[in-house]
Amino acid sequence: MAPRTLTRTALISAFAAVLLASGCGGRSTGNSAQTSQPSQSVLAAQAPAIAPGYGTPEDAVAGLIQGELADDSSELCSYLLPSSQSACNQDAQQQPLPAFTGNPTIAGGKISGSEALVAVTGSICEDGGECTGNSDPSVGMPNYDETFAQAYEQALNNTGGFSPVPCIEENGNWYVNATV
């Protein structure tokens, strides 16, 4: 599958498919656009902690989320495909990311060959702005009506969704499948 091309606003939302393509005012899946944020103790009970890294698709999405919430565009860009990292960093230098808050949680994933879909639940909000989120980890994931290939293609083309996040394995490492 070809990587998804991101505009500046889609980069800001890299994980809201990746993350919040309309600058936090995007559509939400599984919840209303104004999303409440559950307590961290509730989130801890829902899913195990996943550390940022490149070993699994979930690790790559966790790194992307961490970079976005830390307002660290360099970290965020490092979890995109290597071929798009330079453009991502350059774009971020020209227009810094807005501050984001939220409680997105990795809710699982499915791998098919070198491609993966990572389900994300919770919410993310632009400081002082609207929130977008998802409470249903099955939204957009393959199921009895939709094959993995169909779900993956839909996630690649879904610039306004929160979940799932398309990932791809390259040279033994996992990255979010999005380009700038």
Fold exhibited by the domain 4-43+51-179: Nuclear Transport Factor 2; Chain: A, (3.10.450)
C-beta separation of 14 from 155 below 8 A: no
Q: Over the stretch 42-51, which tens digit does the pLDDT of each residue have? A: 333 344 567 8
Strand partners, 166: 117
Q: Over the stretch 115-140, which tens digit does the pLDDT of each residue have? A: 999 999 998 888 777 788 889 999 99
Q: Over the stretch 30-78, which tens digit does the pLDDT of each residue have? A: 333 333 333 333 333 344 567 899 999 999 999 999 998 888 889 999 9
156 membership: H or E segment, kind and range: helix 148-157
Strand partners, 120: 106
pTM metric for this prediction: 0.76
DSSP state of 54: S
Strand partners, 117: 110, 166
Residue with structure tokens 């939709």? 146
Distance between CA atoms of residues 7 and 180, nearest Å: 6
